[in-house]
Amino acid sequence: MKAILVEDGKLIWGEVEDPTAGPGEILIRNRATAINRADLAQRAGGYPPPPGASEILGLECAGEVIGIGEGVRTYKEGDQVCALLAGGGYAERVVVHAGQALPVPGGIEVRDAAALPEVFATAWLNIYMEARAQVGERVLLHAGASGVGTAAIQLCREFNNPCFVTAGSEEKIAQCKALGAEDGVNRHEGSFADRVSEWTSGEGVDVILDPVGGSYLNDNLRSLNRDGRLVIIGLMGGASAEVALGLMMVKRLRIIGSTLRARTVAAKSQVMDELRDRVWPLIEEGKIKPIIETRLPITEAEQAHQLIASNETVGKVILTID
């Protein structure tokens, strides 16, 4: 089969060995994958796949089941599925544990379903499983126009969690509001903490989902209400910062570090089970949708990476495979 390979820093559409489905796994004829910032980090040598995972880039895919491993009872050949991967998505065929796959929701074209697994799993895991957001609690979403951000806005809207976003332009803020964010601030216009305070009448938010890390830490802590939870899922703004421990103690704050890729199959399957039960019905009803910036052939993966690196996109960039 063919796959995107990284050779001397360049993305090459080349030949690799076909994967085979082992016990508990399914083999998927891949129709599409989607770009995640983790792909750019892995390509640069900064985010290696976990032990045993494919070295090929790509954390999600969508296509048809063409092979069934021993013990799999949930799928049959011909089923259309999308899947959360630890690697291997930039390829014509993908193997994944059956627990990390879900049926393509009704009303969604199979290639567009590649925009669902990684971002909705990340948003659901961190807001509703790690931070345990309750009905009515307020949420601050950084990078609101990103793939995870646009997924999280829709989840907050449907599960009654008013949300405030940060993003890189007024246009992006407007697009986030159209998806359901109540308000937002351009991250280039100084600290977001004062605007969050205004939005919450001085109380602060209950949950923050943050892919930025170090440079946002102090303003994040300022923005939290008592018993607030900060979930850090990325380090785009640095990997270290001083922590105001007194503020944490007085406000009883919690900082939660979270990654998805290296979790066990069982843990990922639990996330996917919750998506199937709680989120997939909303997609099929048309209340939630994948937000897609553009679709490109997989042979244009280089251009797709450049688009993501530009910070000009809203939602996902899809790579299609014929």
Query: Domain boundaries in the chain?
Result: 2-116+261-320, 120-257
Is the pLDDT reported for residue 238 higher than 90? no
State the fold for domain 2-116+261-320.
Answer: Quinone Oxidoreductase; Chain A, domain 1 (3.90.180)
Q: How far is CA 168 from CA 140, 177, 184, 188, 207, in A?
A: 15, 14, 10, 6, 21
**Cα–Cα nearest to 132, from 19, 209, 242, 238:** 209
Dihedral sign of CA atoms 82, 86, 89, 94 in order = negative
The 10s digit of each residue's pLDDT in 176-219 is: 999 999 999 999 998 999 999 999 999 999 999 999 998 999 99
Spatial separation of the C-alpha atoms in residues 272 and 266, rounded to whole Å: 10
What pLDDT, on the 0 to 100 scale, is given for residue 21? 97
What is the reported pLDDT for 239? 87
Per the prediction, the chain carries an average pLDDT of 97
pTM for the full model? 0.97
Q: Is the pLDDT of residue 225 over 90?
A: yes
Q: Considering only CA atoms, which of 165, 120, 160 is closest in space to residue 141?
A: 165
pLDDT tens digits, one per residue of 1-25: 999 999 999 999 999 999 999 999 9
User: Quick check: 257 pLDDT over 90?
Assistant: yes
Instruction: Characterize 119-147 residue by residue with b for buried, 16 or more Cβ atoms within 10 angstroms of its Cβ, and e for exposed.
Output: bbbbbbbbbbbbbebeeebbbbbbbbbbb
User: Which CATH number is correct for 120-257, 3.40.50.720, 3.60.20.10, 3.90.1570.10, 3.40.50.150?
Assistant: 3.40.50.720
pLDDT at 232 over 90: yes
- β-sheet bridge partners, residue 295: 318
CA contacts within 13 A on the Cβ side of 283: 24
Q: What is the pLDDT of residues 134-152, one digit of tens each?
A: 999 999 999 999 999 999 9
Paired tokens of 260:
């998805």
pLDDT grade, residue 111 (50/70/90)?
very high
| Tokens coding 20 | 């085979």
Whether 277 has a pLDDT exceeding 90, the answer reads yes
pLDDT in tens, 75-106: 999 999 999 999 999 999 999 999 999 999 99
Give tens-digit pLDDT for 34-53: 999 999 999 999 899 999 99
